[in-house]
Amino acid sequence: MITFNKKNRVSRWISIGKYPEWTIRRARAEYNRLYEQVYDYGRDPVKDKKDEQSKQKEKPTVKELSAIYLEFGRIKGKVSIDEEERYFKKDIYPIIGDKSVDEVSTNDIEEIQFNIIERAKSNDIATQNGKVAVKHAVACTRRLFKLAIKKELITKNPVDDIEPLGITGRRSRVLSFDEIWLFWNRIETLVPPVTAMALKFEFVTMQRGKEVRKMKFSTHKQNENVWHMMKEDTKNKKMHRVPLNRYAQDIIDDVSLYTGASPYVFGATKVLSPPITLRDNLKHLGKSALSQAINRKRDELGIEDFSPHDLRRTGATWIVAVGLPKLYARLMLNHSDGDNDVTGEVYVQYSYDFEKQRAVKVWEFILDQIVTCQSIKEIPTLDELRERVKNTGLL
């Protein structure tokens, strides 16, 4: 303990450290430094220390700031905000959640990256060995610290100086005609019926897996042959009417034998045949149900490097390849065109029904020419298929 006294006005006791962690030499050097602050500069080391601690307490922790960040995101209707919250809880909080925002260093961000990569080594379904998750987690962290800069809590973003390990998860995989035939004719022999039908439904409607998994019977407008998704059901928060071709209608009829009493078309059940008594409390298929089904049976399917989302891209690709304008694919995929006015978001949606109906009819015809073949050898070439579509007058 050291006592400081300046002109008999203030007396302070300061604990420098404990022996033997602090040697006598080190303690003496610290004493001299503090003595200089008091007698040469009129500083109060104890008050300075308390002021610094008080200042630190005023700055939020990463977890506290992220709560504000997530709230802003939800108010603005940010589509990916739930996914960002998942990255915060799983990857970011364990490393820096309890740290003050100005205490986070580049080393902390790099630790977040390495932890994700290390965890991915024991996860067979990790995308690109965890590097896609790294990209998203780091992006969330960067946006969080941009908010901290705007609030003048920090002056520099600690994410800016890291060596990034993440890569984009964007894929361009499209199934060939042969692979379409393999998928369609084998999937129901390899995975439970409801899961298989959900995958097929994603394929024939070209819709997102999440939207398919959470589809409710109440959104199926039978008198119109349309799946009517409200904006809260879609990724881009825009209403979407999906015309249903013959394949989609048949799937709904077939799956209702398993899930017809529940709210969800693709209720989570692994029964192998229609039950005598239908359950009315089925939850929808889980987030990883479709991808896990594919991953476990990929070898038996005979399709390499294949994920459920490729089904959606495949449908959009082939309807354009046979002659439909790209607009038709974009409408079916419900990709945003940047038109945020009320007319573009609501009223004009119904005028797109014609284009979508045309797209699903062309897609139904393409599927007829491929999946109904007795063998792969009978599948037409793209040129042959284009000629057949042209002759139908569908274009």
Task: Give the pLDDT means over successive 10-residue stretches in the chain (395 positions).
Answer: 50 72 79 74 68 63 92 85 90 91 90 85 60 86 92 90 70 91 96 97 96 96 93 84 96 97 96 95 93 91 90 95 93 72 48 88 97 96 96 92
Task: Report the candidate in 386, 185, 166, 199 with the shortest Cα–Cα distance to residue 310.
Answer: 199
- Residue 110's nearest CA partner among 152, 158, 76, 64 is 158
Identify residue 321 by its one-letter amino acid code.
A
Instruction: Provide the strand spans (E) within 191-235.
Output: 220-221, 226-229
Q: Prior bond to 158 cis, omega within 30?
A: no
Residue listed under structure tokens 């390499």: 304
What's the confidence (pLDDT) of residue 127?
A: 52
Residues 6+ apart with CB under 8 A from 153: 59, 60, 65, 101, 102
Burial class (CB in 10 A: 0-12, 13-18, 19+), 139: middle
pLDDT at 14: 73
Q: How far apart are CA 302 and CA 306, in angstroms?
A: 10
List CB contacts of 104: < 8 A, sequence separation 6 or more: 62, 96, 145, 158
* pLDDT of the residue at 54: 57
CB 171 within 8 A of CB 310: yes
Q: Which two tokens stand for residue 185?
A: 């004719």
Give Cα 280 to chain centroid, integer Å: 29
Nearest Cα to Cα of residue 269 among 258, 280, 254, 256: 258
Full-model pTM: 0.68
**From residue 357, how far is each of 217, 248, 350 by CA, in Å?**
20, 13, 11
The reported pLDDT for the residue numbered 26 is 79
Predicted local confidence at residue 36, as pLDDT? 77
- Crossing angle for the helix pair 353-371 and 177-190, nearest 10 degrees? 80
Give residue for tokens 């078309």.
265
pLDDT at 52: 57
What pLDDT score was predicted for residue 374?
Answer: 95
The pLDDT value recorded for residue 2 is 45
- Where does the chain have alpha helices with state H? 24-39, 45-58, 62-75, 81-87, 93-96, 106-120, 131-150, 177-190, 193-205, 209-213, 246-259, 289-301, 309-321, 326-333, 342-345, 353-371, 382-392
The first and second tokens of residue 82, run together, are 């739930």
